[in-house]
Amino acid sequence: MGTPDEQPFSARAVLEIVQALALAVVISVVLNLFVVQVTEVRQKSMEVTLLQGDRVLVSKVDYRLGSPQRGDIIVFNPPVDSAIPYVKRVIALAGETVDLRDGKVLVNGRVVDFPEAVGASLAQAPRITYPFKVPPGNIWTMGDNRLASSDSRSFGPVPVESIIGKVTVRFWPLDRFRGFAW
């Protein structure tokens, strides 16, 4: 029989495996809490850009280093009662004026158009009157699938502190891999 160091599952080997696993869990939790997060798109509001069931990588550091920009695709906790985070596009920033006219989105009087957006941009909530000035500390969001999106048109502006992060990559399904922001 061999020495204790030669046994395949010595106490030292088990301890090293447990330590490595614990370190991996800690690194994973820290990354998920502060750096990146994987999110599943659960709504149809961003079609055709993102389809229901797509998996995206969300950067949590972008907005610690800078501010949201028009066109960013973000994940946020909506200001309505929802168990799931929303995925939408930033349309207007704090201090900007949003107007919806003739099915188009105007920001500060200029048409804002994203090639991925489909459907007319119609008002959804009678409590929001246009033109609407986005208050400080907020953004205006809309889904690219304008006819099937619950967004700022229905619940108003989104507080910046509600943003979880910026969508940077769609990695699943693999055949639709795409980077959004580098």
Name the 3-class secondary structure at 103: coil
45 carries an active-site annotation: yes
Q: Identify the active-site residue in 44, 67, 82, 88.
A: 88
Residues 10, 28, 44, 45: which is the catalytic one? 45
Query: Catalytic: 44?
Result: no
List the catalytic residues.
Answer: 45, 88
